[in-house]
Amino acid sequence: MTDRLATMRAMADKQPDNPLARFGLANELLKAGLLDEAAVELDAYLAIHDDEGNGWLRYADTLHALGKQDAARAACEKGIDAATRHGHATLVSEFEEREY
């Protein structure tokens, strides 16, 4: 485990309701290839933060990589809603290009 991953784990443990800590940990888990754990952290992040779409995209891609196609499609739909709500047309296009 990298020092950065250990640091992010400790930060998320100390501040479980801090969306930035959750998102940071999820990103480190993705870098480490720990997809199951990353999906859990992304889910926790999305439950406590009004993400503008990027988190939903990472979550959808992670779920897709884990073979959870229905959940990936659902995450895409929520991501499209979030990106649209926040005026991120380019991100909406990225979601629409996904073929889950």
37 φ/ψ sector (left φ>0, alpha ψ -120 to 50, else beta): alpha
Residues 26-70 pLDDT 10s: 999 999 999 999 999 999 999 999 999 999 999 999 999 999 999
pLDDT band at 2 (very low <50, low <70, confident <90, very high): confident
Q: Tokens 């999820």, residue?
A: 26
Distance (Å, whole) CA 72 – CA 42: 12
What per-residue confidence (pLDDT) applies to 59? 98
Task: List, in sequence order, every beta strand (DSSP E) within the chain.
Answer: none
Neighbours of 64 (CB within 10 A): 18
What per-residue confidence (pLDDT) applies to 1? 58
